[in-house]
Amino acid sequence: MFDAIYRLGDSISDTGNFIHEDPASPFARLPYGKTFFNNATESGRCSNGLLMIDYFALAAGLPFLPPYLDQDVSVICNHGENFAVAGATALPPDVLAKRNISFSPTKYNLNVQLDWMSTYFNGICHNAEDRAKKLKTALFMVGEIGGNDYNFAFLQGKTIEEVRDMVPEVVQAIKDTVRRVIGYGANRVVIPGNLPIGCLPICLAIFQTNNSAAYDEFHCLKELNSFSMYHNDQLKQALEDLRKENPNVIVVYGDYYNAFQSVYHNALLLGFDVESMQKPCCGAGVDNDFSLTKACGDPDAPVCPNPDERISWDGLHLTQQAYQYMANWLIHDILPNLHCTF
């Protein structure tokens, strides 16, 4: 059993940090959050409602994780803290700049989030002994992170081969982060992998082709999904190294790839509209192929009437319903490896 969750990552797990950094963001206005929250600023999530981290907290009997930048909420939270920020990268800006990758909506990359975590623990713990005691029964989640490093590279015209060349550096950054987290006192760490990005509407739009051989039986782009698997394989190897270095720490891989595929491949049974599996619920493309012309949150951007029937919320992020099914799959997959029960 664990009684607190600490989270690093990006928009897949951000519960409000980004909208505190950028209150004018589309994520800070409806229809974001509309399914579960009273308003978008109360949500702060890049979805129509709850994220996987919310379902993890609910399953553990814990409150939703407060965003670190919301000082009204995050004075001292005994049940964890969320340091994830939408748009965050695993690599710092100067490293990305060397590869001519400059776009990032946030300055709060993974290193900054780690510094926040250190500051937070220094504030709630008297010394190293006290910190070790407080964190003994906590769960740490590092990621998903790294997806934006690749996304920004793709958006700036990099080829799959060029982006593939980034993977060792991104994985090393994640590995170094886990080492620091363990140094803070983490005993149980979950490190999620990447989603099958070849199934996401935004990637299908950017890399669309008339070559039918480029797609699998679910009309996902095979080369992009192979790229995700390559990242995940490299990450799993890094976790093996971390386990050998830290035999007393439980290091678990979070299989986002297969959790998503479980939802995708069983969409009909789960109540999703299979005719709209690659159409977002919000933004241009609700009723046809995804388009970058009108983003979710823009004035007059269309919204589908039944978000629970869609897997994709805005072309990049998923709906609450999809996240719930993924979270359930992951909870059953991860818990035995954590040697604890909810």
Residue 293: predicted pLDDT: 76
Q: What is the pTM of this model?
A: 0.95
Give the pLDDT score at 306.
95
The predicted model gives 67-94 an average pLDDT of 85
The predicted model gives 298-319 an average pLDDT of 95
260 belongs to a structural domain: yes
Token couple for 81:
């803290």
Q: Residue 6 has what pLDDT?
A: 96
The pLDDT value recorded for residue 126 is: 61
**pLDDT of amino acid 77:** 54
Least confidently predicted of 35-44, 152-161, 239-248, 324-333: 35-44
The CATH number of residue 144's host domain is 3.40.50.1110
Query: Distance between CA atoms of 117 and 335, rounded to whole angstroms?
Result: 24
pLDDT digits (tens, 9 = 90+) for 19-59: 999 999 999 999 999 999 988 888 999 999 999 999 999 99
Do residues 68 and 120 make contact, with C-beta atoms less than 8 angstroms apart?
yes
* Residue 131 confidence (pLDDT) above 90: no
Catalytic residue among 10, 72, 317, 333: 317
Lowest mean pLDDT among 131-140, 142-151, 166-175, 260-269: 131-140
Q: Is residue 36 part of a domain?
A: yes
Number of structural domains (the chain) is: 1
**Residue 13 is assigned to a structural domain of this protein:** yes
Is 11 labeled as catalytic in the residue annotation? yes
Q: What is the pLDDT of residue 73?
A: 56
What is the average per-residue pLDDT within 79-101?
95
200: in domain: yes
pLDDT for residue 251: 98
- The catalytic residue among 10, 14, 54, 314 is 314
Q: Would 337 be classed as within a structural domain?
A: no
Across the range 305-321, mean pLDDT stands at 97
When the pLDDT of each residue in the chain is averaged and rounded to a whole number, the result is: 92
Q: Is the pLDDT assigned to residue 234 strictly greater than 80?
A: yes
Could you confirm whether 262 is annotated as catalytic?
Answer: no
CA nearest neighbour of 195 among 319, 12, 47: 12
Tell whether 45 is covered by a domain.
yes
Q: Measuring CA to CA, how many Å separate 120 from each of 5, 77, 115, 125?
A: 13, 10, 9, 9
Residues 6+ away with beta carbon under 8 Å from 58: none
Structural domain contains residue 336 = no
- 339's tokens: 């040697």
pLDDT of residue 146 exceeding 60: yes
Would the pLDDT of 74 be above 60?
A: no
Q: Which domain holds residue 264?
A: 4-331
**Residue 340 located in a structural domain:** no
The catalytic position among 3, 10, 11, 126 is 11
* pLDDT band, residue 167 (cuts 50/70/90): very high
Most confident region among 67-71, 72-76, 219-223 by mean pLDDT: 219-223
Whether 265 is a known active-site residue: answer no
Percent of the chain exceeding pLDDT 90 equals 80
According to the model, what pLDDT value does residue 291 have? 73
Ranges assigned E (strand) in the chain: 4-8, 80-82, 138-142, 188-192, 250-254
What angle do the packed helices 167-184 and 110-124 form, to 10 degrees?
A: 0
Q: Which pLDDT score is estimated for 102?
A: 86
